[in-house]
Structure 1
Amino acid sequence: MAKIDDIYGAADDYGLVTSADARALGASDAEVVQYAARGRLERVARGVYRVPVWPYQEQAPYAIAVRAAGEGAYLYGESVVALLGLCPTDPRAIRVATPRRTRRSLGEGVRLVWRRHPDRVTLYEGIACQEAADAIREAARTLGPARAVDAAREAARMGYVTPAELAEIEGEVGAHA
């Protein structure tokens, strides 16, 4: 089996692999760059590649941003609300939290948020994310209290937050409305 086949096999749900993933499979950084030059991989961010035959998915920009931010990174605040479709948000802004300081540029519209104490993290749509209840609380700053409460109610309807968490959010965020 060729190295590129191993790399394709290691791709995540969005067809993404990192240089570190490829190195773990025995491919050097130079080989990965050559695969990209030949069209066998597509460079989508620093150290992040996409399998070009993978079908496009609407959530892919979020997955790319998290993978590009590095180990321990996760989708944060309003971006979790957007990923889950809980209420309308600015699709051009993606917020990614990381427990490590980094100066890495993640592309236009992606903002890195340094979190000394990482939040509770879970997987939504195969992407590491701040848990929905915490993300809605954080997003209330930019969404406004009324839209944040609406997002929390939608999250409860969809099963992303418990009735107890909904009541807490309505009490905390709704009090500022």
Structure 2
Amino acid sequence: MIRNATPADAPAIAAIYNDAVCNTTAIWNEVEVDTANRVDWMQARQAAGLPVLVLEEAGEVIGYASYGPFRAFDGFRGTVEHSIYIRTDLRGGGRGRALLEGLIEHARADGYHVMVGAIEAGNAGSMALHSKLGFTHVGTMPQVGQKFGRWLDLALLQLVLDRRPQP
């Protein structure tokens, strides 16, 4: 079940986030967060009218997703950048796809024009998922990040959400 997140989901969201911080290059942060941090993050997003979705199975939050502004300039107001995270032991079973499809539907309903994914270029699973859902690889920025003692390349993918000829 995919639903809007509540503050009660923050411990699970923090655990999923922290696992990605400590064990993957999906998040280019190196500092773990606590539950209060995720409550604040969630409430700030929701107050701005942005979604925070959770994927729940058997009463347990096993993934979350959100999107926010791509860039802080007025000219980018029709574009959002998304994030999706699934609990480590449950990746690869279509759950990320379900969350991403939910975000795409939400962004279309909110009138956004483009959704951007900024993905560590070596994350083959995420790259394949985005490709299956119609995202186009529009560029790679070599060595713009670092984690675990190595340089990371950032792949940029985009999905045009509607066919409006003008904003």
Structure 2 length-normalised TM: 0.27
Larger Rg: 1
Greater RCO, CA 8 A, separation 6+: 2
Structure 1 length-normalised TM: 0.26
- Bigger strand fraction: 2
